[in-house]
Copies of this chain bind each other. A is one copy, B any other.
Amino acid sequence: MEKSTAIILTHGMLATSNAKTCHGLLRGTERFDILAVIDYQHAGSDAGEVMDGNTLGIPIFASVAEYKNSELPIPKYCVVGVALHGGQLPDDFREELYTAIGSGMGVVCGLHTFLSDDPYFNALAEKNRLELIDVRKPKPRNSLRFWTGDIYSVKTPKIAVLGTDCALGKRTTCRMLMESCRKNDIATEMIYTGQTGWMQGYPYGFIFDSTVNDFVSGEIERVIVDCANESNPDLILIEGQSALRNPNGPCGSEIILSGNVTGVILQHAPGRRCYDSTDISIPLIASEIGLLSLYGARVLAITLNEENMTDAELTAYQRETEATMGIPVVRPLKEGVDRLIPVVREFMGF
């Protein structure tokens, strides 16, 4: 995939979990070459430092206009780098995007507001001969497939990275695991299931939440079958969405059942009490592992999101949970995920 230049608009949210699309792109993308982040709260800082303390050499500008006045080149795209509950484009993002289009940038957006359906955006983009890419726009029905059972012919080992909630690092852990596997000579493909995954440029995937429900199972099957047949990897990793028991949109059983997935890495935030944007308690991790076993999937390891926990608390939780559950409990952002390689190899039958 040839990379396109891009800037990412987070408009004050870079340090929040709403900027997970931006965070994903900063952590690595085969689709874009990121020149800068636009965020008025953090102008002048380095984007990586704001995100997780690791310098990336990617500058932050206060506005698209300020970026335009810098000596950096006009990128091919301005990417909307936030995911918002409800998925609507906030009004104060509009002005920034108007400036971006007026300055010669196309727009990539993964929200539920489709810019290409907006008469004003459409006219502006047409006038400037620029692209509006709505990543979440559903595919036409005749390009979707129903589930057929072909999945059972795939012999490649498959691991899903599921989580106990939304927005706690499933995709990041999945990508880190892909990189670690490749470094360890396990030819690995990662299947994306969200808009950020598309933006990161993995060749196989689909956008789960913008697919008409009846085709979700078939799309899961199709991407796995295509990936196995075309790339023939040693291992397929699948990015999960939401959580099995999140009332805001339960998800995961389709990946296990329709994708015939038997291994799970479970991302968990021990410092988070309730499902994202609700006051509904997240069940105990042992209960989630039990639920997954009823679906026929074995949890190979637990990976931790660090929010609301001190280093000491995380270490204690990690030790206790490893002892209780008898599986590795890993802190990806602190220690990487290389410690998962032995369980992955064991799962693969080595």
Interface residues of A (CB under 8 A from B): 85-87, 112, 138, 141, 146-147, 149, 151, 208-214, 216-217, 244-250, 253-254, 257-258, 260, 278-280, 287, 290-291, 294-295
> For A212, A214, A250, which residue has the most chain B Cβ atoms within 10 angstroms?
A214
Set B86, B147, B149, B278: member contacting A146, Cβ < 8 A: B86
B213 A245 Cβ-Cβ under 8 A: no
> For A138, A244, A253, A278, which residue has the most chain B Cβ atoms within 10 angstroms?
A253
By a CB distance below 8 angstroms, the chain B residues around A294 are 287, 290-291, 294
Given A212-B213, A213-B213, 10 other A-B residues pairs in contact with their CB atoms under 8 A: A147-B249, A210-B213, A210-B214, A217-B247, A217-B249, A247-B258, A248-B258, A250-B254, A250-B257, A287-B294
By a CB distance below 8 angstroms, the chain B residues around A149 are 247, 278-280
By a CB distance below 8 angstroms, the chain B residues around A295 are 245
Set B85, B87, B249, B257: member contacting A216, Cβ < 8 A: B249
By a CB distance below 8 angstroms, the chain B residues around A208 are 213
By a CB distance below 8 angstroms, the chain B residues around A254 are 249-250
> With A and B bound together, what is the CA distance between A166 and B76 in angstroms?
48
By a CB distance below 8 angstroms, the chain B residues around A211 are 212-213
By a CB distance below 8 angstroms, the chain B residues around A210 are 212-214
B249 A245 Cβ-Cβ under 8 A: no
**Given A149-B278, A278-B149: A214 and B87 interface contact (C-beta under 8 Å):** yes
B209 A213 Cβ-Cβ under 8 A: yes
By a CB distance below 8 angstroms, the chain B residues around A151 are 247
A147 B209 Cβ-Cβ under 8 A: no
* 10 A-B pairs closest in CB distance: A209-B214, A247-B257, A217-B249, A250-B253, A291-B294, A147-B248, A209-B213, A247-B258, A213-B213, A250-B257
> With A and B bound together, what is the CA distance between A277 and B280 in angstroms?
37
**Given A209-B214, A212-B211, A213-B216: A245 and B250 interface contact (C-beta under 8 Å):** no
By a CB distance below 8 angstroms, the chain B residues around A244 are 253
> With A and B bound together, what is the CA distance between A340 and B139 in angstroms?
44
A250 B246 Cβ-Cβ under 8 A: no
Q: How far is the CB of A171 from chain B (nearest CB, A)?
A: 17
By a CB distance below 8 angstroms, the chain B residues around A214 are 87, 112, 209-210, 249
By a CB distance below 8 angstroms, the chain B residues around A280 are 149
Offer 22 A-B interface pairs, CB within 8 angstroms, sorted by A: A86-B146, A112-B141, A147-B249, A149-B278, A149-B280, A151-B247, A208-B213, A209-B214, A210-B214, A211-B212, A211-B213, A212-B213, A213-B213, A213-B216, A213-B249, A244-B253, A245-B253, A249-B254, A249-B258, A253-B253, A291-B294, A294-B294
Which residue on B lies nearest to A151, using beta carbons? B247
By a CB distance below 8 angstroms, the chain B residues around A246 are 257
> For A147, A210, A254, A295, which residue has the most chain B Cβ atoms within 10 angstroms?
A147
By a CB distance below 8 angstroms, the chain B residues around A260 are 247
